[in-house]
Structures are given as C-alpha cells and as structure tokens.
Amino acid sequence: MFMNKSTFTARTRWLAAAFVAVCAMLPCVDSLRAQNYSVTPARPATIESIRQVVEHKNSPSNPLGMIAGGLIGWWLLITTPFVVMGVYWLAVPLPLEELHQRTLRAGRAPTAAETTAAVLGACTGKAAWQHRIMQRKADAFAKNLNNIAQHL
C-alpha cells in the first residue's frame, strides 16, 4: 500500500507519540503485574476507533477550520504592510529632528552642512513608502518648529 508524504508523516508522528505514551506507562504496568492484574495490549482496530473519535474539531479535514485558517492567513497578508509601516514610523526617527535635538542639547544651532547631511539621510536609499513616511514626519516637525517660533 502506497501513501503520500503527509499521510506517512502523520502516521509516523502518531506512532512516535504512542511509543512515548507506552514508555510513560511502563512503570504503571509493572506495578499492576506485581499486584497480579492481567494487562493485555489493545487491538489495532480498537486504537484506530479511539483515534477517530478523539479527532480534533479544527483538524484539516474540518472545512470550517480550513476556512478560518484561510481567512486568518488572508487578513495577516493584507495587514502586514500596514504594521510594518507603523513600526517604521515609530522606530526610525527623522534625521533632521534628531539633528535639531542633538544641537539643542549642545546649546548651538545646526550648521548648513549638518542640515544638508540630515536631509540627504532622510531621502536617499529609501523606498517610496519610506519617503512618504519621512515626508509626513518632516511636515509634523515643521509644524512643531513653527509653533515654537510663534511662542518665542
């Protein structure tokens, strides 16, 4: 009888789990034999009927489980780019804002060369979506600088 790879893998895993369970029960079997109890092995048909009854409701043969898994996979596929963009927004600082904070702590104004390097750092070697995020961050930073300048 030929079987495909997934059937072979599933049966191999089941046999390995059964072997581990039997090894775990050996001390119990020895103690039963010591108390003069008869221990007989189960027939393969009995084991197969128990395994079929205990099959999990979300097994691959259940269409509801397959539909739910497909929908979850589709949802993850759709939302992953937005999660990546959000993490990028939070994790990557705007180089110009970082420069202004660093020079403010040092008590001086940023030089033209430093400003040019910061602007180039925000623009070069980035994908289009990264440019859009940097542009939004730059707009928010410019608004913040304008608010600070109005209060001075």
pTM of the full structure: 0.48
Q: Which helix (H) or strand (E) holds 142?
A: helix 128-151
Q: Per-residue pLDDT for 111 more than 70?
A: yes
Backbone phi, psi, residue 85, to 5°: -65, -40
Which residues have CB under 8 Å from 64's CB, separation 6+?
A: none
Which residues have CB under 8 Å from 58's CB, separation 6+?
A: 65, 68
Neighbours of 65 (CB within 10 A): 14
pLDDT score of 56: 60
- Tell me the H-state helices in 35-127: 44-53, 63-91, 95-106, 112-123
pLDDT score of 58: 57
pLDDT tens-digit readout, 60-75: 566 777 788 889 999 9
Q: Per-residue pLDDT for 105 more than 80?
A: yes
pLDDT tens-digit readout, 44-97: 777 777 666 655 665 556 677 778 888 999 999 999 999 999 999 888 888 888
Give the tokens for residue 59: 């097994």
pLDDT tens-digit readout, 23-36: 666 676 667 667 77
Q: How far apart are CA 50 and CA 61, in angstroms?
A: 17
Q: Which of 13-22, 46-55, 102-111 has the highest mean pLDDT?
A: 102-111
Q: Across residues 113-136, what is the average pLDDT? A: 87
Q: Per-residue pLDDT for 37 more than 80?
A: no
pLDDT score of 124: 84
